[in-house]
Amino acid sequence: MAAEEAQELGRKGVLDIKRWLESTTYINVDWIIYDNQPACTVENLSDKPKRFDLMCRFLGKKKRPLIVECKAYKTVGGQAAGFDDFLATAYSSIARKLDATGDDRAEFMWVTYHPFSQTKWNSLLSKKNIRAALALPRNVALLGGKAVDEDVVDLLAERLWVLVMHRKQKKLTLSQNELSRVFAELERRP
């Protein structure tokens, strides 16, 4: 696949996932990477900021940040390795936030169009898998020279999401007009 085609597929996937998340009426997407890279950038212990595709927040009582990475893959591709890097970055950003300003209770979501790591699917969000991702040589720098903090591993394990989106789910997404009418009736508003 040509780089331009892959880039366009990624952009379309991010926009589709944005619309789908917002149509749940539980999530507001504040920023997308293509509109505001600085707002989609997360600091971590390595001092090498990481950009995510969507910066969101839960609506209603939860009111937490939600940081989303979108993978509009048509095949498994390199998702297993990418997911390990996602786990390490999420851990490092929580640890950094705890050190710098305190816990903002951010949650992290990986949304893909194609399943991956099926033999270990049930353990993708486990503490053991988080630790394994942190131990990979390419991710050690994300620790910023610090030892793995089991309390941060516990926090991250509770705040992780993995969703597989089928392209037909777009047919179940509320339009902007429908969404506006629904929000007029709900107490949770963007």
| pLDDT score of 106 | 97
Task: Provide the pLDDT confidence category of residue 5 given band limits of 50, 70 and 90.
Answer: low
Residue 163 maps to a domain: yes
Does the residue 189 lie in any domain? no
CA distance 49 to 92: 10
Res 88 pLDDT > 70: yes
Sole residue written with tokens 């001092």 = 47
Is residue 156 one of the residues assigned to a domain? yes
Q: Per-residue pLDDT for 1 more than 60?
A: no
Q: Could you tell me if residue 95 is inside a domain?
A: yes
The answer to the question of residue 176 being in a domain is yes
pLDDT tens-digit map of 139-170: 999 999 999 999 999 999 999 999 999 888 87
DSSP H or E stretch at residue 134: helix 127-135
Per-residue pLDDT at 189 exceeds 70:
no
Residue 163 domain boundaries: 3-184
Here the contacts of 166-171 (C-beta below 8 Å, separation 24 or greater) are 166/113, 167/113, 169/20, 170/16, 170/19, 170/20
Contacts of 46 (CB under 8 A, 6+ apart): 92, 141, 142, 143, 144
In a domain, 70, yes or no: yes
d(CA 59, CA 186): 11
pTM, full prediction: 0.91
190 belongs to a structural domain: no
With cut-offs at 50, 70 and 90, classify the pLDDT of residue 181: confident
User: Using CA atoms, how far apart are residues 108 and 91, in angstroms rounded to an integer?
Assistant: 10
User: Residues of the chain with pLDDT > 70: what percent?
Assistant: 95
The domain tally of the chain equals 1
